Structure 1
Amino acid sequence: MNSNSTGHRIGRATARWGFLYLAVALSACTPAGDSRQHTTPPANRAAPSSSASAGGPPCTPSVDTLPAPPAGYRSVGEDVAVPTTPVLSAEDSGEADPAARLFAKWGLVVRAGTVVDLRVAPGWQDKARLGWGGTGTPASTVTVHACAPESGQGQWMAFVGGTWVAQAACVPLIVTSNGQNDSVTLGIGLPCDKTTEP
């Protein structure tokens, strides 16, 4: 085995683990009108199943499969992971909805084979929106169906999307999976210790 082949494999592995960091880091320089267009998996990635499981919702388009949530992510309940970044950069979104004036792009990581609901907490329905997978419009409640990849490999699925807000804020979200509700807050445009409740 030559050193070029080994270096190529190491580079691919580094790119895989660094993908979600890149999605977050690029949010500050991605044009607002382009924020939901990067949902096609790269050719060298294992693409997940695009078919719905029997009787379930359609699969949400994902961009990668992972063996575990990457470094820089924290678990919310058993089936979801979100960034640990104290502040997710928010830029003008170009959306007409006043509750979606700013957009923070970040990757959502969901356990393969699960369906999760994410919603903004009560009192935030007019202040924040959510969306992943490039489908539909930003909404106060979204369902992500992380269909298991056809290859059977990868225990977690990564989705491109993010959070829209009327103004920079610490946004409380509620995640529901397997009948259990879990709460998490995300600093959109400012850290959570610098904002007040609605």
Structure 2
Amino acid sequence: MPRTADHTARRAQIAEALVHVAARDGLHAVSMRSVAAEAGVSLRLVQYYFHTKTGLLIGALHHLEQQSHQRWTERLRGLPDPPPPRAFAEAFLAEALPTDESSRAFHLVGTSYSMLARTDPELAAHPFTAGIDRLEDQLAEALARARNHGDLAPGVDPQLEATRLVMIVNGLGTSILAGHHTTDYAHEVLHDHLDHVFPSTTS
């Protein structure tokens, strides 16, 4: 019988194939057959691991979540616990922008999932679709710490600013994907904004 590690690797292979199809052709182009072809496996194998298309979509969500958690952990590695608020905000913003093939696929597919979840109760129930709320809460906590230490600009509300940062980075991410702005320009915009939010840490 195949080892658990073999099953895990196979599921990850199939989930990654779905991400490739969705990033290249759109989530509407995803089917169990197209994912099987992309992964170089049989349709029967895809059906064995995920049973239905919805099961396949949810499996890919788990895969994307794991990848995002790994990248986020890497970005925070070496920072104090808890990390300085501005460093935390910069790490979040850098992770949220589609700056390479992996983050571009994550942004494209994640946005597509969020839209699909509006009409699919099973996808809507998945924690991935609530990820933006968790990020806002984490940013708000970091901003509240900065306010308590006098590092936040006067009048800045941590919760409102957290929402603003998420919206800014989402808009810039879409602009990058559409080719309207470069990643360098997006980083320049974000760092300029953070200089106003954290005036005491401006270098």
Is the TM-score greater than 0.5?
no
Please state which structure has a larger fraction of its residues in helix. 2
When the two structures are superposed, what TM-score results if normalisation uses the length of structure 1?
A: 0.32
Larger RCO: Structure 1 or Structure 2 (Cα < 8 Å, ≥ 6 residues apart)?
Answer: 1
| TM-score, reference length from structure 2 | 0.31
